[in-house]
């Protein structure tokens, strides 16, 4: 098996490991991928330092070698807070209203991609498979090629790819996609995002595209684009579920919500997650069923994320305001309808909380996949499972809500739809909950992160047949 070199902006360095914090799905998934495959993981340390020296910090832990570099505060500003998270992230989540286009941050993005290429090149051996991840590093493959790296290079996008009509609002969009066609294989979470990418290549670049195989022929090179829906680390998550920590967390939630149904949401505090809209839906439910305030308690775990970016500061304020309004209007001296928590928990604790909660609410406005939806279901008691309420705009909906079974699908923009789904979930008989759980659990268990890694790496190794 070829050695794997994984490159991503965020690296799960050991001190952050085990604590979910605000990490998101990428770091956990890549950690599992590397444990399985062996190899090295290169990326940003998460630290800022101004020293010009390209110090690479190597660390070995649990069979995974991480190699990280610090970024200067200007790099963090322009590349991470700027182009990646104020331009690409909102644009790729269909939020043109929040997208900023600044030439300076675009230059910073290119500069940091070049720096990544420069620092990782000496670590690459001729037979390595190189696997680049996510929107921070779209042009990295081309930067590596410019340094003479002839290895197979794959890329996986963890977030949606926007429709062509939105994407062309990005200045230099063509230049960016041309760089991506230096990859041998490009993976997307769902067919929907893959089709948007193929559409762009055909319409805007005039590339020759084979729909079925995903082959894109352009200027003498072939790139393959396919969908690889990411999964959870099933075995690891189940082993966490067997720990004392998980059992204690479950008991803690059950003890504190006696006689009431616990409904849970766990999301990074991000506008793509539809949190204010979710709170509006819960408010609508209480307006329609005031007598049920004593039946239901909603727990929203929302660790803050990307706090230096203005749109994140605004969404946090809005959420605090909406939560405060509902709690002010609906609380009693002995009862608070919404518990809003700005911190992360370990995987074991989340497992326990999920198991104690009879409804999981996952209602992003747009999401590449959303692994919380899968984890919620994975933590349920198979004989008495809870109900997953899932946004039709999460990538996970394609796997978990096939043909009207599985998750209860909602339009996250509609408070009435969310309110209705909550009522349906609260009143759902055990037999239907079990039937819906049975539809979802097979794909969650089998299409796990190890299967995802295997599929992508096998396909990458098979590209180019040279
Ligand atoms: C999403 C992105 C990841 C990112 C994670 C956490 O899942 O796809 O690339 O690492 O969010 O965000 P952060 O900005 O803290 O890395």
Count CA atoms within 13 Å of residue 211 on its CB side: 4
Out of 6, 12, 16, 23, give the residue to mutate to test ligand 1, the one with the largest number of ligand atoms within 8 Å of its CB.
Answer: 23
Q: List, in sequence order, every residue forming a beta bridge with 200; answer none if it has no partner.
A: none
User: Which DSSP string do the residues of 14-27 spell out, in sequence order?
Assistant: GGGTTB-TT--HHH
How far apart CA 366 and CA 64 sit, in angstroms, is: 32
218 alpha carbon – ligand 1 mean position (Å): 31
For the CA of 134, the closest atom of ligand 1 is 9
24 alpha carbon – ligand 1 mean position (Å): 5
How far apart CA 152 and CA 324 sit, in angstroms, is: 52
Whether 25 is in the pocket of ligand 1, judged by its Cβ within 6 Å, is: yes
184 alpha carbon – ligand 1 mean position (Å): 24
Helices 244-256 + 347-356 axis angle, to 10: 40
Out of 6, 9, 10, give the residue to mutate to test ligand 1, the one with the largest number of ligand atoms within 8 Å of its CB.
Answer: 10
Out of 134, 155, 269, 308, give the residue to mutate to test ligand 1, the one with the largest number of ligand atoms within 8 Å of its CB.
Answer: 134
Determine the straight-line distance between the first and last CA of the chain, rounded to whole angstroms. Answer: 17
159 alpha carbon – ligand 1 mean position (Å): 9
268 alpha carbon – ligand 1 mean position (Å): 9
How far apart CA 86 and CA 134 sit, in angstroms, is: 15
217-254 b/e (C-beta count within 10 Å ≥ 16 → b) = ebeeebbbbbbbbbbbbbebbeebbebebbeebbeebe
How far apart CA 35 and CA 12 sit, in angstroms, is: 12
**Could you give the angle at the alpha carbon of 384 between the alpha carbons of 381 and 388, nearest 5°?**
80
According to DSSP, residue 269 is labeled: B
Residue 282: strand, helix, or coil: helix
Whether 367 is in the pocket of ligand 1, judged by its Cβ within 6 Å, is: no
Q: Which two tokens stand for residue 223?
A: 């790139």
Query: For 147-301, where are the E strands, in sequence order?
Result: 153-156, 185-188, 208-210, 215-218, 221-227, 261-266, 296-301
Options 158, 280, 417, 447, the catalytic residue: 158
Helices 310-330 + 275-288 axis angle, to 10: 10
Indicate if 158 belongs to the active site. Answer: yes
Find all residues with CB under 8 Å of 357, minimum gap 6, and list them: 253, 262, 263, 264, 299, 376, 386
23 alpha carbon – ligand 1 mean position (Å): 6
| Confidence (pLDDT) at 22 | 52
Q: List, in sequence order, every residue forming a beta bridge with 48; answer none if it has no partner.
A: 71
Specify the residue with its C-alpha closest to ligand 1, atom 16. 10
256 alpha carbon – ligand 1 mean position (Å): 32
pLDDT digit of tens for each residue in the chain (466 aa)?
789 999 999 998 655 444 444 567 788 888 888 888 889 999 999 999 987 666 899 998 877 899 999 999 999 999 999 999 999 999 999 999 999 999 999 999 999 999 999 999 999 999 999 999 999 999 999 999 999 999 999 999 999 999 999 999 999 999 999 999 999 999 999 999 999 999 999 999 999 999 999 999 999 999 999 999 999 999 999 999 999 999 999 999 999 998 899 999 999 999 999 999 999 999 999 999 999 999 999 999 999 999 999 999 999 999 999 999 999 999 999 999 999 999 999 999 999 999 999 999 999 999 999 999 999 999 999 999 999 999 999 999 999 997 778 999 999 999 999 999 999 999 999 999 999 999 999 999 999 999 999 999 999 999 975 5
Q: Is residue 218 a contact partner of residue 186, using CB atoms and an 8 Å limit?
A: no
How far apart CA 161 and CA 93 sit, in angstroms, is: 8
Q: List, in sequence order, every residue forming a beta bridge with 43; answer none if it has no partner.
A: 68
Whether 284 is in the pocket of ligand 1, judged by its Cβ within 6 Å, is: no
How far apart CA 380 and CA 299 sit, in angstroms, is: 17
| Confidence (pLDDT) at 62 | 76
Indicate if 438 belongs to the active site. Answer: no
Look up the pTM and report it: 0.97
Three-class secondary structure assignment of 128-147: CEEEEECHHHCCHHHHHHHC
| Confidence (pLDDT) at 402 | 79
Whether 159 is in the pocket of ligand 1, judged by its Cβ within 6 Å, is: yes
Specify the residue with its C-alpha closest to ligand 1, atom 14. 306
Whether 10 is in the pocket of ligand 1, judged by its Cβ within 6 Å, is: yes
According to DSSP, residue 368 is labeled: S
Q: Which two tokens stand for residue 454?
A: 């295997």
Task: Give the closest residue to 182 by CA, choosing from 225, 130, 141.
Answer: 141
Helices 25-37 + 371-378 axis angle, to 10: 70
Specify the residue with its C-alpha closest to ligand 1, atom 7. 24
Q: Is residue 7 a contact partner of residue 30, using CB atoms and an 8 Å limit?
A: no
Residue 10: strand, helix, or coil: strand
| Confidence (pLDDT) at 406 | 96
Whether 134 is in the pocket of ligand 1, judged by its Cβ within 6 Å, is: yes
Residues recorded for the chain: 466
Residue 261: strand, helix, or coil: strand
């Amino acid at each position: 098996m070829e050695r794997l070199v994984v490159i991503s902006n965020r690296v799960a360095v050991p001190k952050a490991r085990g604590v979910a914090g605000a990490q998101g799905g990428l770091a956990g998934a890549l950690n599992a991928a590397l444990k399985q495959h062996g190899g090295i993981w290169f990326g940003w340390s998460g630290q800022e330092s101004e020293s010009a020296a390209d110090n690479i910090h190597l660390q070995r832990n649990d069979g995974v070698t991480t190699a990280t570099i610090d970024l200067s505060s200007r790099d963090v500003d322009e590349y991470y807070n700027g182009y990646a998270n104020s331009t690409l992230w909102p644009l790729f989540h269909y939020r043109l209203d929040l997208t900023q286009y600044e030439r300076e941050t675009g230059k910073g993005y290119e500069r940091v991609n070049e720096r990544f290429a420069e620092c990782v090149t000496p670590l690459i051996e001729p037979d390595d498979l190189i696997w680049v991840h996510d929107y921070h590093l779209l042009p990295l493959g081309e930067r590596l090629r410019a340094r003479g790296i002839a290895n197979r290079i794959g890329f996986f996008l963890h977030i949606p790819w926007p429709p062509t009509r939105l994407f062309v609002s990005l200045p230099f969009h063509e230049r960016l996609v041309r760089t991506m066609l230096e990859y041998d294989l490009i993976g997307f979470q769902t067919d929907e995002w893959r089709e948007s990418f193929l559409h762009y290549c055909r319409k805007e670049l005039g590339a020759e595209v084979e729909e079925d195989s995903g082959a894109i022929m352009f200027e003498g090179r072939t790139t393959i684009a396919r969908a690889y829906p990411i999964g959870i680390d099933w075995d690891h998550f189940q082993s966490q579920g067997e720990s004392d920590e998980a059992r204690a967390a479950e008991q803690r939630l059950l003890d504190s919500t006696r006689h009431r149904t616990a409904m849970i949401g766990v999301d990074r505090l991000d506008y793509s997650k539809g949190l204010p809209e979710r709170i509006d839906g819960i408010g609508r439910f209480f307006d329609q069923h005031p007598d049920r305030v004593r039946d239901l308690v909603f727990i929203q775990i929302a660790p803050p994320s990307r706090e230096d970016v203005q749109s994140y500061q605004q969404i946090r304020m809005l959420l605090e305001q909406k939560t405060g309004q509902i709690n002010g209007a609906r609380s009693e001296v002995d009862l608070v309808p919404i518990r809003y928590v700005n911190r992360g928990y370990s995987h074991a604790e989340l497992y326990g909380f999920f198991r104690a909660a009879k409804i999981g609410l996952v209602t992003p406005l747009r999401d590449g996949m959303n692994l919380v939806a899968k984890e919620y279901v994975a933590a349920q008691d198979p004989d008495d499972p809870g109900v997953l309420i899932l946004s039709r705009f999460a990538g996970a909906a394609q796997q978990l809500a096939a043909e009207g079974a599985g998750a209860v699908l909602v339009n996250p923009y509609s408070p009435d739809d969310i309110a209705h789904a909550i009522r349906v979930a609260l009143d759902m008989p055990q037999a239907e909950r079990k039937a819906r759980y049975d539809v979802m659990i097979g794909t969650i268990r089998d299409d796990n992160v190890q299967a995802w890694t295997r599929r992508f790496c096998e396909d990458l190794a098979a590209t180019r047949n040279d």
